[in-house]
Amino acid sequence: MKLIILDRDGVINHDSEAFIKSPAEWIPIKGSLEAIARLNQAGYRVVVATNQSGVGRGLFDMMMLNAIHQKMHNAAQQVGADIDAVFFCPHAADDNCDCRKPKPGMFNEISRRFGISLRGGVITVGDSLRDLQAGFVAGCAPYLVLTGKGEKTLEKGGLPPGTLVYPDLAGVVDFILKAPVEVSV
């Protein structure tokens, strides 16, 4: 099974310092959903792993989070993309849970649910250090995108060994699928 694990905010959709609190605030990054469709066409199962501490902080409830994810699924389906599953941590940072990235709990759960080792080939794509750390500790190959918080993450440094950096999710997918590079003359 070919599996890829994506962060949500800053990778698939535009991020907000004030949190994405409603479906109206969930706006896809140009080309991200089409990139997921290309992954699907190449046989990849696409899973989202996202911290959603806004639930734990009382900024929005589970019903609203489900509505946001439904909008994401609907938008993906409109371009022929399929997101197999969304794993999320609803806890605030001070809850000290095992599922909140940078801890690898969500990734370990994905491994169990899909019956696949994350070591040796599973890619994780994120825009923050904690995304990459969680995936790396679980055995994933880390890919940083410069959308969302990505540029600031790159500037701060301290990325896991072997982290590859791309402008956006579409760039990651071009690399993964080894799409030919178009040269304008």
Q: Which residues contact 138 (CB under 8 A, 6 or more apart)?
A: 104, 107, 108, 111, 118, 124
Cα dihedral value 65, 66, 69, 74, nearest 10: -140
Lowest mean pLDDT among 57-66, 129-138, 172-181: 172-181
**Could you tell me what percentage of the chain is helix, strand and coil, using 3-state DSSP and rounding each to the nearest 5?**
40, 20, 45
Statement: residue 182 has pLDDT above 70: no
Our answer to whether residue 7 is catalytic in this structure is yes
pLDDT single digits (tens) 4-41:
999 999 999 999 999 999 999 999 999 999 999 999 99
Q: Give the whole-angstrom CA distance, residue 30 versus residue 114.
A: 29
Q: What is the pLDDT of residues 38-86, one digit of tens each?
A: 999 999 999 999 999 999 999 999 999 999 999 999 999 999 999 999 9
| Catalytic choice (7, 127, 168, 174) | 7
Which pLDDT score is estimated for 120?
Answer: 83
- Position 121 scores a pLDDT of 86
Enter the pTM of the model: 0.94
Is residue 185 scored above 80 in pLDDT? no
Residue 130: name the closest of 64, 61, 56, 49 by CA: 49
Q: Identify the active-site residue in 9, 127, 168, 174.
A: 9
